Amino acid sequence: MTPAVQAQGTSGSPAQTLPIEPEEFLRLAYSSATLQGQAAKLAASRETRPEVKSYAAAATDYRAGLLQRIEAFARERNLPLPSVKAFEHQVIIENLEPLDYLALSRRYAEIQLQAIGQEIAIYQAAARSPSAEIKAFAEQMLPELQRQQEGAQRMYEAVRP
C-alpha cells in the first residue's frame, strides 16, 4: 500500500499524507479518474434522481478531460499509465450496474464522496513530491478536485437516507 493510500484512511489532513513517487501518483490518479468516469457515465445514462443525473453528467465531462490531461502529462514525460483497471475499481462498477433509481443514486453519491476523498489525498501527496512537474500538476488540479468534492457532497445530501 502506498503512503498516500495508507494516510488517507486517517483524518485526511495534508500533513498526514506523505509524498508519492511520480509513477505511483500517475497510476493512482489515472485509475481513480477512470473509475469515477465510468461510474459517472453509468449514473448519467440511467434513471437516477435529478441531482445525481446532473452531477453525473457534469462529472462525465470533467473526468474525460482529466483523463486526457493525465495521459498528456504522462506521454510528455514518457511515464507509464496502467493498461487495466484496478480489480477493486472493476468490482465497484460491477456492483453499481444492477442498481436503479434511488439505490443507484445513493450508491453513486457514496462512491463519489469516498473516491474524491481518496483522490484528493493522492494529489495532496503529489503536491509534496520532490518532482517539480508532479508537484505543479497536482497543485493545479487540487482546487478543481475540491470543487468536485463540494458538488458530490451536495449531491449526497440530496439523496442520503
Cα angle value 138/131/2 (rounded, 5°): 70
Quick one: DSSP state of residue 18?
P
- How confident is residue 142, by pLDDT bands cut at 50, 70 and 90? very high
Residue 15: pLDDT band by 50, 70, 90 thresholds? very low
For cell 440530496, the residue is 158
Assigned CATH topology for domain 18-79+86-159 = Ferritin (1.20.1260)
| Dihedral of the alpha carbons of 27, 156, 151, 63, in degrees to the nearest 10 | 30
Q: Over the stretch 72-90, which tens digit does the pLDDT of each residue have?
A: 999 999 999 988 777 888 8
CA-based max dimension of the chain: 46
Residue 11 pLDDT class (50, 70, 90 cuts): very low
Return d(Cα 134, Cα 144) in angstroms, integer: 16
Length reported for the chain: 161
